[in-house]
């Protein structure tokens, strides 16, 4: 039996290829949080706990994740059975409240190491993959209409993405919707256009904005109002024909059950970190499937490790009817993997090697790691 021998957490500040404008923050760098779990048989697994905009998006920050794992997680896990991720997570869930992103990174690292030991890809440990590639959307978030259209055209020409999600919510409703409508017209018949409001509309603004967006041909509206407003989300689902997606509202199986039973979302955005880990995200998928809620593979703009982990889960679970958004590594100006993930023909190709099937280049990581 192998035991957990060491846990290391590294924060790396990696520049983005352009500014990424969200309703709550404008990003020019991404703080990639990597967790390395070493077993006493020498195998090292890695997981990721990346979030967005410090504390602007949620209650966990890169610095908080590192502190929690080093101070509270590690003393509990060192010396325990490294071959049993479920037992490790049960221990953490019993003794540590919340900290979903940190827990996800540790669980992913344990599964990665177990996959290396058994010589099986992570997707096989999760039940076996249904597919070897996943459709991937690209987020247009420069904040400039002409630049977003130009960027989208380049993605289509390269056959990299034919689904575009537009980040809005920072400007007025009419201005944001005019921006989206212009992009939707530019890609009509050639690409699917969706929007993400990141909870920044009131109910009244949402009624106005969704009516405008639906008229413009937008197919999917992500989290237009606050994630805790279940009644408001249900009202929007009942009022409009375009699909309404829950994202920030979903923090694990309990919240998924609440939204599914209330009919408060047409689509669930599945994020492994936001759900609290791979096993918890799989439960969210199962709840959605049972309730006939469609699925979309979401992202926290992770680098290659979190993206690979998400891809393995999405490929092993129910079909992602609305595709995925696993473009995080492509937003980074520098690659941290020894071999990058492969994107072609509008799809992300799943890694085939054991565990995650990807490995961190420690020399490159060292260039961006915080002291």
Residues forming the active site: 167
Q: Where are the beta strands (DSSP E) in 168-246?
A: 192-196, 220-222, 243-246
Determine the Cα–Cα distance for residues 76 and 44; give it in Å rounded to an integer.
18
Distance CA 111, CA 120 (A): 10
Residue 117, C-beta contacts closer than 8 angstroms, at least 6 positions apart: 2, 39, 41, 43, 83
Alpha-carbon 10 to chain mean position: 19
Backbone phi and psi for residue 42, each to the nearest 5 degrees, phi listed first:
95, -10
Distance from the Cα of residue 367 to its chain's centroid: 25
Question: Cβ contacts of residue 95 below 8 Å, gap of 6+?
Answer: 76
What is the Cα–Cα distance from 298 to 283, expressed in whole angstroms? 15
**CA distances (Å), 74 to each of 1, 17, 260, 361, in order?**
19, 34, 35, 24
């Amino acid at each position: 039996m192998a035991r957990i021998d060491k846990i290391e957490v590294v924060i790396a500040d990696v520049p983005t290829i352009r500014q990424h404008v969200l309703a709550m923050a404008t990003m020019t760098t991404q703080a990639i949080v990597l967790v390395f779990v070493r077993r006493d048989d020498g195998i090292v697994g890695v997981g990721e706990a990346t979030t967005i905009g410090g504390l602007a998006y949620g209650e966990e920050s890169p610095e908080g994740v590192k502190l929690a794992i080093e101070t509270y997680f590690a003393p509990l896990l060192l010396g325990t059975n490294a071959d049993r991720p479920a037992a490790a997570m049960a221990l953490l869930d019993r003794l540590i409240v919340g900290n979903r992103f940190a827990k996800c990174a540790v669980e992913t690292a344990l599964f990665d190491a177990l996959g290396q030991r058994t010589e099986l890809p992570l997707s096989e440990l999760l039940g076996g993959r249904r597919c070897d590639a996943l459709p991937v959307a690209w987020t247009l978030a420069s904040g400039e209409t002409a630049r977003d259209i130009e960027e989208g055209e380049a993605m289509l020409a390269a056959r990299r993405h034919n689904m575009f999600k537009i980040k809005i919510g920072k400007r007025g409703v009419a201005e944001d919707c005019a921006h989206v409508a212009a992009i939707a017209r530019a890609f009509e018949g050639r690409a699917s256009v969706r929007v993400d409001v990141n909870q920044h509309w009131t109910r009244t603004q949402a009624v106005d904005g969704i009516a405008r967006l639906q008229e413009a041909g937008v197919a999917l509206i992500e989290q237009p109002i606050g994630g805790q407003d279940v009644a408001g989300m249900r009202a929007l689902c009942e009022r409009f024909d375009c699909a309404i997606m829950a994202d920030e509202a979903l923090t694990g199986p309990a919240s998924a059950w609440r939204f599914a039973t209330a009919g408060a979302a047409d689509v669930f955005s599945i994020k492994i970190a936001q759900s609290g880990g791979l096993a918890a995200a799989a439960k969210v998928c199962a709840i959605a499937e049972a309730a006939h809620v469609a699925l979309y593979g979401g992202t926290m703009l992770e680098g290659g490790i979190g993206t690979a982990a998400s891809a393995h889960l999405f490929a092993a679970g129910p079909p992602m009817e609305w595709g995925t958004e696993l473009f995080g590594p492509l937003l980074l100006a520098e690659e941290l993997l020894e071999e990058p993930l492969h994107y072609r023909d509008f799809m992300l190709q799943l890694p085939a090697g054991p565990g995650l099937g990807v490995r961190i280049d420690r020399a490159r990581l060292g260039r961006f790691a915080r002291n």
